[in-house]
């Protein structure tokens, strides 16, 4: 039976060798900035524990630590501000895949996980777009990506976690074993009982949330740590559910002339896929993801030559590109796909997902501007995916250049917001009005199948960064009124705008309830100070 109480344990002895410690300025400099180009990174040292015993020794000795993985954070959450950087990159063990799950350490990258599972004929489908991300990072932010529409977020796939608390003791958490009772959890440690209160705020009813601490009346303790951004404990081991086979995927790139048409087509694809899954239709159209790139994204790719490098040609007149992933029956060959595409217009065509897809696109007059990549064509599939990934890479590169050449206070300024799908078009208009009314250059992309968009500022001055932050805060208030979440999949980190969005979402009372959780589990404020909650610059301690 589930209980609200759990006992922590001390780590095993491990190697009993000193932890690797780096203080040389050139080596430390490699860890002073994450993908957000958040300014002011500095740290006295970087440590690389290789086992739980070494990790515990670091937590005992350091006044403050910042756990990091690939430092692919888009929120400043992996940029140190005086803490010892706790790199988990040496914790990279991967267990042999079991039939339904795989156990890995936090430094394992998504690329390594994918390669291991592919060799075993299995798959982990809800991975975020950036495959260089580490497992510890995706758990810490409850990361999500394109396929949330079918497969959910990281939280839905975590079977068990081992978490090291700030005191250096470990919790072994199995989903379903420890649930809140009377608004609290109780954790027995060698120093006594920790009582952890559960916040009472209501989370938005949307598929993605990376917005502070998870909270529900009888929640599972494992969910408190997923998405907590390293502020409550350090992930040392994760068991993830996996699929028994790798799905056969057909990629579909569609160029459209305007946004209303793109929204209509995406809605039709979503509706058909929901019906397929609801009715368990073997021949139904099953779209697991639809990505969206606006006109400015396409202009940036042309300006930087990313379209040539990926060999993806989009008409100059295109105002929007959609990139969809369609799951097919196992064993579907490229020859079958090509044959069905050719037959789709005839009355004798078989009833298959590809035929249904082609007929839907033909009804919208889009077959001439559509490219299908059949399962097995890995080279072309990689090129289409690289085309999509080049959008944030191009924007991040431009932000970095502006930071170096114009003003070193320039930083990545972007929103990561989600609404209930019927409000998607409203959210798109909201973002455009907010940026254009302030005279800002921007690009919008994201996961249209989830109604999760990423409006990104292209800053030319530090003043424009401040205007962009103002636009994002204004949008956040409206997104919340629409029933959405202004912090969907990237987390909060150190970014003051995102921290303000968190306060908009849950109010002063909700923030104080989160702080009570933090104080219970990390009374000295040792873990990731300044992440989620701001700190006072003079003291380095979290402000009330």
Please tell me whether residues 126 and 163 are part of one structural domain. Answer: yes
Please state, in angstroms and rounded to a whole number, the distance separating the CA atoms of residues 287 and 251.
10
pLDDT above 70: percentage of residues in the chain: 98
Please tell me whether residues 347 and 383 are part of one structural domain. Answer: yes
Tokens representing 344 are 């789709």
Of 301, 182, 157, 227, the residue nearest 491 (C-alpha): 227
- Which CATH number do you get for residue 420? 3.30.70.2740
Instruction: Kindly state whether residue 538 falls inside one of the protein's structural domains.
Output: no
Higher pLDDT among residues 90 and 35, named by residue: 90
- In this prediction, residue 448 carries a pLDDT of 96
In tens, the pLDDT along 117-174 reads 999 999 999 988 788 899 999 999 999 988 999 999 999 999 999 999 999 999 999 9
Number of domains in the chain: 3
Of 361, 366, 326, the residue nearest 449 (C-alpha): 326
Name the residue range of residue 409's domain. 401-491
Strands 65-68 and 20-22: unpaired
In tens, the pLDDT along 69-126 reads 999 888 889 999 999 999 999 999 999 999 999 999 999 999 999 999 999 999 999 9
Last residue of a domain, one of 333, 360, 388: 388
- In this prediction, residue 33 carries a pLDDT of 87
Instruction: Kindly state whether residue 348 falls inside one of the protein's structural domains.
Output: yes
Give the ranges where 195-333 is alpha helix by DSSP (H). 221-225, 259-278, 295-304, 306-310
Instruction: Kindly state whether residue 347 falls inside one of the protein's structural domains.
Output: yes
Q: Are 366 and 265 in contact (CB under 8 A)?
A: yes
In tens, the pLDDT along 286-307 reads 999 999 999 999 999 999 887 7
- Which CATH number do you get for residue 285? 3.30.70.2190
Last residue of a domain, one of 361, 388, 415: 388
Q: What is the DSSP letter of 74?
A: S
| CA angle, 446 then 301 then 414, to 5° | 40
Please tell me whether residues 415 and 376 are part of one structural domain. Answer: no
Instruction: Kindly state whether residue 163 falls inside one of the protein's structural domains.
Output: yes
Last residue of a domain, one of 241, 275, 290: 241
Instruction: Kindly state whether residue 116 falls inside one of the protein's structural domains.
Output: yes
Please tell me whether residues 282 and 358 are part of one structural domain. Answer: yes
- Which CATH number do you get for residue 213? 3.30.465.10
Confidence of residue 540 (pLDDT cuts 50, 70, 90): low
In tens, the pLDDT along 475-519 reads 999 999 999 999 999 999 999 999 999 999 999 999 999 999 999
Please tell me whether residues 237 and 118 are part of one structural domain. Answer: yes
- Whole-model pTM: value is 0.94
């Amino acid at each position: 039976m589930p209980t609200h109480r759990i006992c922590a344990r001390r780590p095993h002895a491990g190697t009993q060798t000193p932890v690797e410690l780096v203080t040389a300025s050139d080596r430390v400099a490699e860890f002073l900035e994450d993908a957000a180009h958040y300014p002011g990174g500095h740290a006295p040292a970087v440590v690389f524990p290789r086992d739980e015993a070494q990790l515990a020794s670091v937590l005992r000795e350091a006044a403050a630590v910042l756990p990091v993985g690939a430092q692919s954070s888009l929120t400043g959450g992996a940029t140190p501000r005086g803490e010892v950087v706790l790199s988990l990159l040496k914790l990279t063990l991967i267990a042999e895949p079991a039939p339904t799950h795989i156990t890995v350490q936090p430094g394992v990258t998504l690329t390594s996980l994918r390669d291991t599972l592919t060799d075993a004929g299995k798959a982990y489908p809800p991975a975020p777009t950036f495959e260089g991300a580490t497992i510890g990072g995706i758990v810490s932010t409850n990361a999500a990506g394109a396929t949330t529409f079918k497969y959910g977020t990281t939280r839905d796939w975590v079977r068990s976690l081992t978490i090291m608390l700030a005191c250096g003791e470990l919790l072994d958490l199995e989903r379903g074993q420890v649930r809140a009772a009377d608004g609290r959890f109780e954790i027995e440690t060698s120093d006594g009982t920790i009582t952890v209160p559960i916040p009472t705020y209501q989370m938005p009813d949307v598929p993605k949330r990376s917005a502070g601490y998870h909270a529900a009346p009888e929640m599972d303790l494992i969910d408190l740590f997923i998405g907590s951004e390293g502020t409550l404990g350090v992930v040392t081991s994760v068991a993830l559910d996996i699929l028994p086979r790798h799905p056969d995927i057909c990629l579909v790139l569609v160029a459209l002339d305007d946004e209303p048409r793109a929204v209509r087509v995406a809605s039709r694809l979503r509706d058909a896929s929901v019906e397929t899954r609801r009715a368990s239709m073997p021949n139904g159209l099953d779209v697991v993801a639809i990505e969206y790139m606006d006109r400015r994204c396409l202009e940036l790719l042309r300006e930087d030559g990313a379209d040539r490098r990926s060999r993806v040609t989009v008409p100059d007149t295109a105002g929007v590109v959609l990139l969809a992933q369609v799951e097919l029956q196992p064993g579907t060959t490229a020859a079958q796909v090509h044959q069905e595409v050719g037959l789709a217009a005839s009355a004798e065509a078989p009833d298959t997902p590809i035929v249904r897809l082609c007929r839907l696109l033909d009804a919208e007059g889009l077959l001439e501007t559509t490219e299908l990549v059949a399962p097995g064509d890995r080279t072309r599939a990689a090129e289409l995916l690289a085309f999509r990934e080049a959008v944030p890479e191009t924007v991040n590169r431009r932000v970095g250049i502006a930071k170096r050449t114009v003003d070193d206070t320039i930083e990545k300024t972007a929103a990561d917001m989600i609404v209930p799908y019927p409000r998607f078009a409203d959210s798109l208009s909201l973002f455009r009005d907010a940026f254009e009314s302030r005279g800002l250059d921007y690009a919008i992309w994201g996961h249209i199948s989830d109604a999760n968009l990423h409006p990104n500022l292209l800053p030319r001055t530090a003043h424009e960064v401040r205007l962009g932050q103002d636009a994002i805060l204004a949008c956040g208030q409206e997104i919340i009124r629409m029933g959405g979440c202004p912090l969907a999949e990237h987390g909060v980190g150190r970014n003051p705008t995102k921290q303000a969005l968190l306060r908009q979402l849950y109010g002063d009372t909700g923030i104080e309830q989160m702080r009570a959780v933090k104080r219970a589990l990390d009374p000295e404020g040792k873990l990731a100070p300044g992440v989620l909650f701001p700190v006072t610059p003079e003291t380095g301690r979290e402000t009330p």
